[in-house]
């Protein structure tokens, strides 16, 4: 797996891109490693212009903030999860019309993240079953490529996920305790 990760990451590192302005994308991707310092909703409001209000979420004392925006030219949905008014996790998802678009967005996002933090690594998830031995008990049409990392008190990942006719690029982080 490490060899595959090295090959995948090596490929991404060699690819060179030039795109239009990516300030919004850079900002939201930077939250993967920066948002660990945000504790309360008020802190989030200070970072995000026109931040929507909190709403209740499943579970006791759970709330969330949902943000809808455009990233990489596609509709994106961000979710910031709080427990007892303290941020515990967050993430974004972009659903694209096809693999080509998702792959392009993924590579662009990886390039941005690679410029922001050190020590990220790649993994690939093939369509393995629930017991990780027999694919017959799990989805046969799923492939996921992950870029993962840890930065101080946050564990984060960025992934390209293909499943059936659904292609998406997502990223998220959660606080690490201890």
| Residue 20 is assigned to a structural domain of this protein | no
Residue 172: band (very low, low, confident or very high) from pLDDT cuts 50, 70, 90: confident
φ/ψ of residue 25, rounded to 5: -65, -45
Question: How many structural domains does the chain have?
Answer: 1
**This prediction's pTM:** 0.73
Nearest by Cα to 74 from 153, 170, 138: 170
| Residue 147 is assigned to a structural domain of this protein | yes
| Residue 134 is assigned to a structural domain of this protein | no
pLDDT tens figures, 125-137? 665 554 455 544 4
| Residue 50 is assigned to a structural domain of this protein | yes
| Residue 25 is assigned to a structural domain of this protein | no
Q: Which domain holds residue 108?
A: 2-14+32-129+139-175
| Residue 24 is assigned to a structural domain of this protein | no
């Amino acid at each position: 797996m490490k060899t595959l990760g090295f090959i995948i990451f090596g490929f991404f590192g060699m690819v060179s891109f030039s795109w239009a302005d990516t300030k919004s994308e850079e900002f939201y991707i930077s939250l993967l490693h920066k948002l660990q310092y945000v504790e309360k909703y008020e802190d989030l409001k200070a970072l995000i212009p026109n931040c929507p209000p909190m709403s209740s979420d499943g579970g006791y004392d759970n709330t969330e903030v949902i943000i809808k925006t455009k990233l990489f030219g596609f509709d994106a949905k961000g979710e910031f999860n709080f427990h007892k008014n303290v941020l515990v996790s967050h993430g974004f998802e972009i659903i694209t019309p096809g693999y080509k678009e998702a792959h392009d967005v993924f590579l662009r996002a990886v390039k941005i993240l690679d410029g922001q933090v050190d020590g990220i690594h790649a993994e690939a998830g093939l369509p393995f079953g629930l017991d990780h031995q027999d694919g017959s008990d799990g989805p046969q049409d799923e492939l996921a490529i992950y870029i993962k990392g840890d930065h101080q008190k946050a564990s984060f990942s960025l992934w390209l996920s293909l499943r059936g006719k659904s292609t998406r690029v997502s990223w998220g982080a959660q606080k690490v305790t201890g």
